């Protein structure tokens, strides 16, 4: 088990400090580092009971004027100790906790601190996968839950730790780094195969165009050429450019990494075609394709709302998969320019 200070540091960073009573992102009245004042209910009597407990822990008469960070840490330590004891005492969570390594133990404790032991016990598929050592499935169950929608990055951090056994903050960078580190020689060969096929196709197209030009008979200067006699040279279709001519190899690797992780989080029936998606995005958005893909995966609802992208039922798109598909289908130049502008809004790429 990790040392106590490490637990406190991580949870403090995830929760954030509230000196006075406020509503947390999930809608509960909280204080300090995520101490839920509605743990016994949302009625005035239930909230008053929770406040009295806080006053007893801190040795104060009331908390109406707020608390200090030192008092918040004391409150966090008290609550954390209770959560750890409850997990260890539970008939199912206790044996599982002892079986896990230090980092995955933290994931279990963090979820219990955030939601309560009772709610975590309802994650039956996740717990079964953890008991069987299937941490990829356990991570997918975390990301499919309402908990992931409520806490966002915190859930992504825990899901990534469940897969890798290493905890870090800033999920997007970590997932890319881990995916590159775990890339197999097979995936590299597949990438090289795609590039070679694209290069061969380009060479054949150029060779065919050259042959057609050579077959055109020279016309007499004295004779006017009719439309039927002319043989126009086919123009390059820029809308079907391959990934090689639109994005760099590094951008392509990052995009593959993001799409593979999206497929891991989705079910078998909701997979995206990685190669086709990369080709479509790079053809439409060029060097900005990886920036746009990262934006669509990190904040799909925000992107869809600002661009007013809706599904066939007229509802705002909130799914990363559906948003990426829509971005691959955009043809209107103004809309595509709006997508690029939105992706550049914060001024740097996700790398």
> Sorting pLDDT into bands at 50, 70 and 90, what band is 228?
very low
Which of 53, 78, 103 finishes a domain?
A: 78
Predicted pLDDT of residue 60: 87
Could you report the per-residue pLDDT of 281-340, keeping only the tens digit for each? 888 888 888 888 887 887 888 888 888 888 888 888 888 888 888 888 888 788 788 888
CATH number of residue 143's parent domain? 1.10.530.40
- The number of domains in the chain is 3
Predicted pLDDT of residue 64: 85
**Residue 83 counted as domain residue:** no
**Residue 41 counted as domain residue:** yes
Q: Is 326 left (phi over 0), alpha (psi -120 to 50) or beta?
A: alpha
Same domain, 152 and 68: no
CA 4 to chain centre: 29
Same domain, 154 and 279: no
Same domain, 320 and 174: yes
Same domain, 175 and 322: yes
Same domain, 341 and 250: yes
Could you report the per-residue pLDDT of 85-111, keeping only the tens digit for each? 999 999 999 999 999 998 899 999 999
pTM as predicted? 0.48
**Residue 164 counted as domain residue:** yes
Which of 55, 78, 101 finishes a domain?
A: 78
CA-closest candidate to residue 145, choices 100, 171, 115, 118: 115
Retrieve residue 82's tokens. 């209770």
Could you report the per-residue pLDDT of 31-88, keeping only the tens digit for each? 888 888 888 888 999 999 989 988 998 898 888 888 999 998 998 998 889 999 999 9
For residue 124, CA distances in Å to 128, 130, 138, 295 come to: 6, 10, 10, 32
Same domain, 178 and 136: no
Same domain, 178 and 327: yes
Angle between helices 171-181 and 153-164 (to 10 degrees): 20
**Residue 215 counted as domain residue:** no
Same domain, 22 and 43: yes
Predicted pLDDT of residue 256: 87
**Residue 176 counted as domain residue:** yes
Least confident of 158-167, 214-223, 237-246: 237-246
Retrieve residue 332's tokens. 């209107």
DSSP state of 316: B
What are the b/e assignments for 133-151, b being 16+ CB within 10 Å? Answer: eebebbbbbbbbbebbeeb
Which of 140, 168, 196 finishes a domain?
A: 168
Could you report the per-residue pLDDT of 236-287, keeping only the tens digit for each? 444 444 334 457 888 888 888 888 888 877 777 778 888 888 888 888 888 8
Retrieve residue 330's tokens. 């955009």
| Domain, as residue range, for 139 | 90-168
What lies within 8 Å, CB to CB, of 254 at 6+ separation is 176, 290, 294, 350, 351
**Residue 202 counted as domain residue:** no
Same domain, 56 and 98: no
**Residue 247 counted as domain residue:** yes
List the Cα angle 304/309/310 in 5-degree steps: 115
Same domain, 162 and 301: no
């Amino acid at each position: 088990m990790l040392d106590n200070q490490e637990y406190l540091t991580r949870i403090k960073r995830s929760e954030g400090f509230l000196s006075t009573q406020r509503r947390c992102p999930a809608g509960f009245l909280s204080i300090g580092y995520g101490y839920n004042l509605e743990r016994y209910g949302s009625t005035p009597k239930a909230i008053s009971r929770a406040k009295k407990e806080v006053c007893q822990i801190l040795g104060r008469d009331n908390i109406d004027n707020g608390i200090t960070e030192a008092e918040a840490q004391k409150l966090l330590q008290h609550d954390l100790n209770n959560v750890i004891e409850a997990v260890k005492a539970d008939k199912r969570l206790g044996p599982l906790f002892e079986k896990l390594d230090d980092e995955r133990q933290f994931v279990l404790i963090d979820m219990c601190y955030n939601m309560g032991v009772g709610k975590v016990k309802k994650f039956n598929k996740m717990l079964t996968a953890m008991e069987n050592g299937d941490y990829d499935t356990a991570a997918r169950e975390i990301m499919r839950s309402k908990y992931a929608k409520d806490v966002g990055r915190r859930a992504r951090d825990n899901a990534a730790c469940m897969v890798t056994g290493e905890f870090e903050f800033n999920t997007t960078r970590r997932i890319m780094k881990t995916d590159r580190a775990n890339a197999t020689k097979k995936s590299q060969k597949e990438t090289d195969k795609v590039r070679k096929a694209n290069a061969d196709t380009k060479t054949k197209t150029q060779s065919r165009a050259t042959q057609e030009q050579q077959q055109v008979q020279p016309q007499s200067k004295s004779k006017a050429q009719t439309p039927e006699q002319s043989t126009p040279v086919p123009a390059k279709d820029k809308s079907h450019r391959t990934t090689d001519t639109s994005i760099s190899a590094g951008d392509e690797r990052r995009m593959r990494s993001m799409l593979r992780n999206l497929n891991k989080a989705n079910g078998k029936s909701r997979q995206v075609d990685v190669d086709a998606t990369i080709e479509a995005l790079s053809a439409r958005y060029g060097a900005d394709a990886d920036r746009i893909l990262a934006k669509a995966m990190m904040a799909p609802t925000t992107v869809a709302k600002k661009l007013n992208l809706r599904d066939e039922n007229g509802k705002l798109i909130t799914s990363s998969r559906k948003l990426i598909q829509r971005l691959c289908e955009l043809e209107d130049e103004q809309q595509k320019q709006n997508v690029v502008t939105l992706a550049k809004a914060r001024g740097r790429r996700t790398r």
